[in-house]
Amino acid sequence: MNNTSRKPWTISLGIFTIWLIVVVGGGLLQVKGQPTQLDELVKSQLIYGVLTAIVFLSGAITYFNWWDQVGWKGPNDSRNLRLLLLPAMFLFIMLLIVLFTGLPPTRVLLIVIINTLMVGISEELMFRGVLFHGASSLFGIWRAVWITAIVFGSVHTLNSLITGDFNASVFQAFFAGMFGVWAVALRVRLDTVIPLIVIHWLWDCLAFLTGSSEGLVLLLFSFILFLYGIWLLRGFRTTAASVHVNRVRE
């Protein structure tokens, strides 16, 4: 359908609200209101709320004909894929840590792989896809970067409703906020969310498999990539209304 007369920012906020209710509400229903650590949940059972959120997002994006706008396509220039080398290097180091410390039982490994893949799809389509499209259409690229990153980080504090541990959720929100900056920077430069889904999936998967013992390593990687994201955003005009009309001054 033709939605050119609609306001993407308002629509994206509506989609985000429903998505949030589905994800958080689904998580609370799954744990039956009992405090459950995310590590335990991700490793023990499939997270159906996230799966439902993916179905909802797919339907909403199709209804508004936003697949191109949310970045479900190839990169604008295949040469820009080299920008993925730094996060790929860190992911490789995380993989080596996992292999060195040992893999969990096959069943646990498969559940973690599936759950983190679903989270990667759901959160990238929502934040670097729908919400970024809506925010950039009204506020421009630079402000949209910070809006989506801050919202992405803040949402992770709601994990405390499931875990019962607010302090841990604040720490996770800090990580997520930094992730949100460099992830959306890659979204801007590549004009696609597909590689970000893969990166998000592998990042979460390997982070869960490494465990809390490698928290300082993940913090270091996150900080370096945060600075990398700021560097990637150099030269973007703050007044542009869409990713498609912005150019980076190389």
Structure tokens at 199: 């990166």
Could you give the CA distance from residue 146 to residue 123 in angstroms, rounded to a whole number?
A: 16
Tens of pLDDT, residues 166-185: 988 998 899 999 999 999 99
- Give which of 179, 250, 173, 199 is closest to 92, Cα–Cα: 199
CA dist list (Å): 231 to 88, 123, 137, 182, 224 = 17, 23, 22, 9, 11
**pTM for the full predicted model:** 0.91
Q: For residue 3, what pLDDT is reported?
A: 46
Burial of 10 (0-12, 13-18, 19+ CB in 10 A): exposed
Could you give the CA distance from residue 101 to residue 111 in angstroms, rounded to a whole number?
A: 19
Tens of pLDDT, residues 22-39: 999 999 999 998 999 988
As a dihedral over the C-alpha atoms of residue 126, residue 128, residue 133, residue 135, rounded to 10 degrees, the angle is 90
Q: For residue 212, what pLDDT is reported?
A: 55
CA dist list (Å): 166 to 37, 183, 245, 249 = 12, 25, 41, 42
